[in-house]
Amino acid sequence: MYCKTPWRSGFNRLKGQKAGRSRHTIRILQTDLHCSNMPVYKLRYFNNPRRGRAELARLILHQAGVEFEDIRFPHSEWPAIKPSTPFGQVPVLEVDGQVLAQSNTIARYLARKYGLAGKNDWEQALADMYADNINDLLNAAVPPFMEKDPVKQKEMYEKFMAETIANHVVLIEKQLKKNNTGYLVGNDLTWADLAYYAYFSDFLEVKFGSAFLKDAPLLKALIDRVKALPNIKKWTEFRNSKYPEEN
Amino acid sequence: MVHYKLIYFNLRGRAELARLVLQHQEIVFEDFRFEREEWPKYKAGTPFGQVPVLEVDGKPLAQSNTIARYLARQHGLAGQNDWEQSQADMYVDCIHDLIGGTRPIIYETDKDKQKEMFQKFLQDVVNPHLQKVEQQLIKNGSGFLVGKSITWADLAYYSFFSPMMERLGEAILDSTPHLKKLVAHVGNIPQIKKYVETRPKTAL
């Protein structure tokens, strides 16, 4: 029921933009062929960090092949945008002009709408549970991220990896083994798998390498599987070249 | 009939929203509570080394908001359509953020410092949020946060602000009369009132 129009024309337009545009709001515009039965989605977030709390929604939309306006604004524009948000925060998702806030709520809404949430109420709850785990892990990474003293920061990250991450990896490996389908929930891809990919591969693997996955072959296989999904691969290759990783 | 067992410390804490959902809908459940010293006994049996856990006919579900959302959806407290359900999710996420903000303050042992931290938290974090919520409440126009009737989002705001008012004084909601009215309304719902009067009295 949704448009199969390629978003390729959107990123061809972006490829043609001159260098230095990153200071200004960048929009990946919808293609000219707008389908009238599709909601108009606008996702708004900072341009720095470029992925941050908006990336899960982007992964869901790209995986589902859904058009959206991926609005990234510089911090200088934030004071003007902030009052228009429901709770003074981003990301926000506009759906035909109505606004939804909170990153996981946005992701869940899109996942449910586009068949990435689980096949029944129980599976949907399991997917929610895994997404909440990732939310906790994102919050746990904030104190070391914010630490200004590089020596102390290194120490905090080492403790974080050796304790918080290592403990969770053991438990998630157990769950993957128990589910025995290669996916976190049921026998198919859900936003839970995308959330784990975004955190463990896109964030941790990029930052710390794959050593922490050495005793977690099922988790490693899952994130590799997500990485290789055609729509995800296409998006991340484009994104990584246009918006290089920023630590 | 599905059997629910909600497993948590003998505290309100992160399980209270699920308990309020169940109590409001008058669903029978096993409210399994253990003392802090007993935690090592139960930890290994949980999916991620944490509680609350909800067992649904023996199958475990973890994460406090996931549990409360599942129960709300199963028992008619989640919102009337996809959009309303997402609006409710959004409000509960806001409360989740506020609860996170109180963690370091709750565990501060110096009482004077704690008082100071609460005042700063009220001023910097809670009050700006309250103003936004009040605007949304007025815009929604029904007295409830979402749609025309009560959802788990209203219970979440009650669950957070009712103890906050006990701790810091009722005046903290004076600048947001619609929210203050909503919190009072929830507290006066017969099954909620009865539950609150009879539940174990715990510090958190």
Measured between beta carbons, the chain A residues lying within 8 angstroms of B48 are 133, 168, 171
Q: Which chain B residue has its CA at the smallest distance from A172's CA?
A: B48
Which amino acid, residue A106?
I
pLDDT grade for A12, boundaries at 50, 70 and 90: very low
Domain edges within chain B: 4-76+191-198, 82-188
Of A109, A112, A125, which is closest to B66 when you measure between CB atoms?
A125
pLDDT of residue B105: 96
Say how far apart CA B106 and CA B80 lie, in whole Å.
36
Say how far apart CA A60 and CA A223 lie, in whole Å.
15
pLDDT of residue A8: 39
pLDDT by residue (tens digit) across B2-12?
999 999 999 99
Hey, is A101 helix, strand or coil?
strand
A123 vs chain B: nearest CA distance in angstroms? 10
pLDDT by residue (tens digit) across B45-72?
999 999 999 999 999 999 999 999 999 9
Q: Give the residue-averaged pLDDT of A156-173.
A: 97
pLDDT grade for A1, boundaries at 50, 70 and 90: very low
Q: Which chain B residue has its CA at the smallest distance from A82's CA?
A: B132
A113 touches B at CB < 8 Å? yes
Say how far apart CA B22 and CA B73 lie, in whole Å.
11
Question: For the whole model, what pTM was predicted?
Answer: 0.91
Q: Give the residue-averaged pLDDT of B155-177.
A: 96
Which contacts (CB < 8 Å, 24+ apart) does range A106-110 have? A106/A43, A106/A57, A107/A56, A107/A57, A107/A60, A107/A131, A107/A191, A107/A195, A108/A191, A108/B86, A108/B89, A109/B82, A109/B86, A109/B89, A110/A57, A110/A60, A110/A61, A110/A64, A110/A66, A110/A191
Q: Are B176 and B134 in contact (CB under 8 A)?
A: yes
Which class does domain B82-188 fall in?
mainly alpha
ipTM over 0.90: yes
A105 vs chain B: nearest CA distance in angstroms? 6
Mean pLDDT of chain A: 87
Mean pLDDT of chain B: 97
Which amino acid, residue A188?
D
Task: Provide, rounded to the nearest whole percent, the portion of chain A with pLDDT above 70.
Answer: 83
pLDDT by residue (tens digit) across A33-87?
445 678 999 999 998 766 789 999 999 999 999 999 999 999 999 999 999 999 9
Cβ-in-10-Å burial (0-12, 13-18, 19+) of A209 comes to exposed
A164 touches B at CB < 8 Å? no
Say how far apart CA B90 and CA B6 lie, in whole Å.
24
pLDDT of residue A25: 52
A132 vs chain B: nearest CA distance in angstroms? 7
Fold of domain B4-76+191-198: Glutaredoxin (3.40.30)
pLDDT grade for A17, boundaries at 50, 70 and 90: very low
Q: Which chain B residue has its CA at the smallest distance from A124's CA?
A: B70
